[in-house]
Homo-oligomer: A and B are copies of this chain.
Amino acid sequence: MTNFTAGYFTMTEQEAVEYAKGTLDFFAPDAELSCKEIGDGNLNYVFRIVDAHTDRSLIIKQAGPVARISDEFKLSPDRNRIEYDILRLQGELAPGFVPEVYHYDPVMNCTAMEDLSRFQILRTALGKHQSFPHFADHITTFLVNTLLSTSDLVLGHKEKKELVKQFTNPELCEITEDLVYTEPFFHCPRNDVFEGTRSFVEREVWADETLALETAKLKFNFLTNAQSLLHGDLHTGSIFVTEDETKVIDPEFAFYGPAGYDIGNVIANLIFAYENAKATDGTPEYQRFLLETIEQVVDQFKTKFTAAFRDQATEQVARYEGFLEDYLTGILQDTAAVVGLELCRRVIGIAKVKDLTDIADPERRTTAEINCLTLGKQLILNRRDYQTGDSFIAAIKKEDTP
C-alpha cells in the first residue's frame, strides 16, 4: 500500500483506488473498484471510482501540485479547505442542493464527494435548448436558504463574525474584483473583445464616465458589504442538473459579500442562454421558458425570502415595520447591478461564456453581445428600478432585435 500520511503527492488512478480503500469508509471491503481521471486537467485532478459489484461510485477531487498552482495563479491550497467547509455548510442549509462531501484531507489536498455523473452542466444543457421546469424553484430555495441563514437577520452576530473570518478568501475575491469590477470598464490589456463588438465597447462602455463611476461604487460594495455567505461564482457552469434535481458545485469563491451577487449571477447567465437561444434559432417555447425562469427566479426569491424571514429572523430590530421591505429593496438593487456587471464583463473581459462565443455567425454574435452590453449598462445605471421579475423581463425584451 502507498503511504498517504507521509506528505502530499499527486495520485495516479491506481493510487486513488488505494486511497479510497484505505482511507474512506465508503466502499465495502470486498468492493471491486475501478478508477478514471475525468478532470479537465486545469487546476484539479478528478478521479471517478466505481464499485463493479454495487455500481456505487464517488469522486475524489485533488488539487494539483501547490508549486505549479502558485506559479501560475498564486492560489493557496486553502481554497480546497474553503470548498469543503462551504459544501458541508450549504449541505446543512440547503439539503440536497449541493454534492454530499464524505472526507477532506489537508495533507493530500483532496476531497471525496458524491459522484454526479448522471447530471449535466446547466450551461451545456441550455446550449442544447433543454428546458428545466423546476430549476427556478430549486435555485431560489438554494439562494434563500444559504443567503438568509448566514445573514445577521437569522444567525447570531457572534457566530456570523466567526463565519466571516472562516470564509475570508482574499485570492479568489481578488479575481472577481479585477475581472468583474475593474478591467471590463476601461481599456485594459487583459480584455478580450470580439472584433464586431469592439467599436461599441470603445464608444459606449470605455468612454462612459458615468458608468465607470457606478462600477467603482459597486466594487466598494463588493469589497466591504459582509451581508451573506455567498457561493461567489454562481453561473450556469457551476450548476449541475437533471430533469428533477439541481446541484450547485464549485463554491471555492465563497466569502461574505452582498447577497445580490449570487442572485445576479444566476440571472445574467440565464440571459446569456436567452441571447444564445435567439442567435441559434431556439423555438419560441424555449425562449419563453428562459424568460419565465428569469422572472420566477426574481419573484420566487422574494416570496420565499419573505416567508423564511418571517419564520426564522432572530434579530429583533429586523422585525420593525418596514425593515424587511427595505432590506429586500437593497438586495434587488444589488442583484440588478450584478446582472449588469456580469453581462458586460463576459463580453469584454478575459473570462468568456460559451453561450456567446459559440454563436458561429459573426453578425449574430455581435448582435447578442451588444444586447448584453446595452442591457448591462441599463441595469447598472438604473439599478434601483428593477424590483420585480416583470421589470427584468421588460428590460430584456427591450433589447430584442425586432
Contacts and interface: CB of A to CB of B under 8 A. Distances in A.
Interface of A: 152, 157-158, 160-162, 164-165, 168-171, 173-174, 177, 181-182, 185, 209, 212-213, 215-217, 219-220, 223-227, 316-318, 320-323, 326-327
Contact of A213 (B160, B219, B326): B326
Among A177, A216, A316, A326, find the residue whose CB has the most chain B CB atoms closer than 10 A: A216
Contacts of A216: 317-318, 320, 323
Contacts of A165: 165, 168
Oligomeric state, in number of copies? 2
Contacts of A323: 213, 216-217
Given A223-B152, A320-B212, A170 B158 contact: yes
Given A152-B223, A317-B212, A161 B182 contact: no
For the residues of A in contact with B, the DSSP-based class is: helix
B170 A213 contact: no
Q: Closest 3 CB pairs between A and B?
A: A216-B317, A158-B170, A161-B170
8 contacts: A161-B169, A162-B168, A165-B165, A181-B317, A213-B321, A220-B318, A220-B327, A225-B225
Given A213-B326, A320-B213, A326-B217, A170 B174 contact: no
A219 B317 contact: yes
A119 to B, nearest CB: 34
A302 B317 CA distance: 32
A219 B326 CA distance: 13
A370 to B, nearest CB: 24
Contacts of A217: 323, 326
A182 B321 CA distance: 15
Given A224-B227, A225-B224, A215 B173 contact: no
A224 B226 contact: yes
Contact of A320 (B158, B209, B224, B322): B209
A115 B212 CA distance: 50
Among A161, A217, A320, find the residue whose CB has the most chain B CB atoms closer than 10 A: A320
Contacts of A219: 317
A175 to B, nearest CB: 11
A183 to B, nearest CB: 10
B225 A182 contact: no
A326 B212 CA distance: 13
Given A158-B171, A170-B162, A209-B321, A316 B226 contact: no
Nearest to A223: B152
A318 B327 CA distance: 26
Given A160-B223, A185-B317, A209-B320, 7 more contacts: A158-B171, A161-B170, A212-B320, A216-B323, A217-B326, A224-B227, A225-B226
